[in-house]
Structure 1
């Protein structure tokens, strides 16, 4: 059997990135991907068993990065509170690193957040909202005016804000392809979120 070549695999992934940006997971075509990669449809299956495996190779690592990043933020928040910080230190981590993540992986993030319907990542936005809710709830209960108890109003606010964050990011990725534009808009979005959270956590 001919040795599989990494440059061919990367060519397939590039073609898949373009295909999945233009079509939802269910509407994407392995035939179009193979044609764009310059190989036969039969040959593409020597590299990826099916469309699901190809999609996983493209967006799976990015999803893991996002989840790991969000969980790191949660840990940093908990450390800030344990050290009697005002709990806002972690927000600086958002501003310093999230923009780089979106600049480097804007295409993959667009696919993951807006084009994954029908795949195992079809509920990814809801998962992101749930993770962000846990961070916001911690921030609300640890504020200087709070007694560490989460009220119904706090839960509602956390859910609303988390949904707004995720949908705002999805909107930016859906409407803009240029990496620098995405970077600028995400940076502005995160900055405004930062200001709002500062006010909410210190009031």
Structure 2
């Protein structure tokens, strides 16, 4: 007789996996990849070590799964924000504000992706590079749109996009490592305005991206 899992069993298994992922997120965020053990994660999740291996084959798989979660969350939020937005300037604004909002809401996950990944596991850090590359590509497209509409002066859109994304990255890293700024989304509004002016948008009377 073939055993079929009930909905209740599936829900229990999913809840246990979420507890493991949450515990892994907290441990990696505080102690990094090498400073965290599967035993630490199991203890925080309230499960046996063997239970973790029923879901994920090793510590690296757990770490990778968390980075994937953060990566997809940022891109999905940006896609949703841009869906009904027209114009390069508006796309730039909502994209960066959406990304910062995700990071603000998921600080431990942000720390795993942006701080622990590069130092913790080089292969996983490739995903961070890919995320930054995709963000830069979006910004470059928006800058080109602004130039084509004559809303922006002629410029090297790729260099401008690198600078635009780079300022956000540095502010986020400072927030994660030093707690400055204390409110990332609030600081992000000022940063968006700063970068839009740098590109050449006229924000007179429009301080703070209003």
Task: Sort the TM-score into its range (normalised by shorter chain).
Answer: 0.7 to 0.9
Partner of 1:161: 164
- Say if 2:192 is the partner of 1:193: yes
Instruction: Give the CA deviation at 1:137.
Output: 2.4
1:38 to 46, 52, 77: 46
The alignment covers a number of residue pairs equal to 189
* Cα-to-partner distance string for 1:51-100 (whole Å, 9 max, x where unaligned): 233223333222112123445667767x42xxxxxx32224424764454
Equivalences for residues 11-160 of structure 1 within 5 A: 11-70=19-78, 79-80=86-87, 87-94=88-95, 97-116=98-117, 117-118=120-121, 120-141=123-144, 142-143=146-147, 144=150, 151=156, 154-160=157-163
Residues 66, 112 of structure 2: 8 Å contact kept? no
- Say if 2:173 is the partner of 1:170: yes
Distance 1:74 1:137, change over 3 A: farther
Distance 1:145 1:5, change over 3 A: closer
User: TM-score by structure 2 length?
Assistant: 0.70
RMSD of Structure 2 on Structure 1 (CA)? 3.4
**Long gaps (5+) in structure 1:** 81-86
Counterpart CA distance in 2 for 1:41 and 1:175 is 33
Distance 1:90 1:15, change over 3 A: same
* Cα-to-partner distance string for 1:22-66 (whole Å, 9 max, x where unaligned): 222244211211122233322321232212332233332221121
Choose between structure 1 and 2 for higher RCO, CA contacts under 8 A separated by at least 6 residues: 1
